[in-house]
Chain A
């Protein structure tokens, strides 16, 4: 991924010292995982391996949530800093 493309996707704003590492590729990554998992489950369902498709769905949800948990933590941290908790 080239540098200028990454900078365009990163949304800048706010004062100096505020968090800028939230960019929209997070949405695209999670949606990409979802589409991949749904394609895999359809293929596995068609070839008769239903239990493996269920496992793929569960692992897809877990991977997506692992990706989000770090962001949730840092977001709540900055919220608590802003409101003076």
Chain B
């Protein structure tokens, strides 16, 4: 994917949103949403081979069990950040903070089994040393 194409699309979206803000402020939200959807679509269609490659590499290394957790956490962080930015663009910073808080809690919930595994391993090591 050409980076200049992405820049052009982003500039077009920005100009359309600025024009709509001047004419009718409430109609600027669909324009912003459409722009972020198109940009996200381009980015994801370019990022799919990268993520499948990283997934294959991680599955072949020693971190094979944790590959899905890592990728899920990355996806949650990315998605909530972008949604919060769209909310803040429209002036709803409270909705943005709630979205980010929900994302943080979800990532924490995702890593609870890892925490249990770490504590089990630590207690086993302590038993050996005794």
Contact = CB atoms under 8 A, between A and B. Distances in A.
A30 B51 contact: no
B34 A23 contact: no
B39 to A, nearest CB: 9
A19 B45 CA distance: 6
B48 A14 contact: yes
Contacts of A19: 41, 44-45
A24 B37 contact: no
Question: Size range of the interface on A?
Answer: 35 or more
Interface in A50-85: 57, 60-61, 64-65, 67-68, 71-72, 75, 78-80, 82-85
Contacts of B24: 34, 37-38, 41, 57
A43 interface: no
B45 A18 contact: yes
Contacts of B26: 57, 61
A12 B55 CA distance: 24
A27 B1 contact: no
Contacts of B13: 27
A84 B71 contact: yes
Contact of B5 (A11, A15, A18, A72): A11
A74 to B, nearest CB: 9
A79 B75 contact: yes
Contacts of A22: 37-38, 41-42, 45
Given A13-B45, A14-B1, A27 B31 contact: yes
B126 to A, nearest CB: 35
In the A-B complex, list the 10 residue pairs whose CB atoms are closest, starting with the nearest: A22-B41, A83-B75, A13-B1, A14-B45, A64-B30, A38-B23, A34-B27, A31-B16, A18-B45, A30-B34
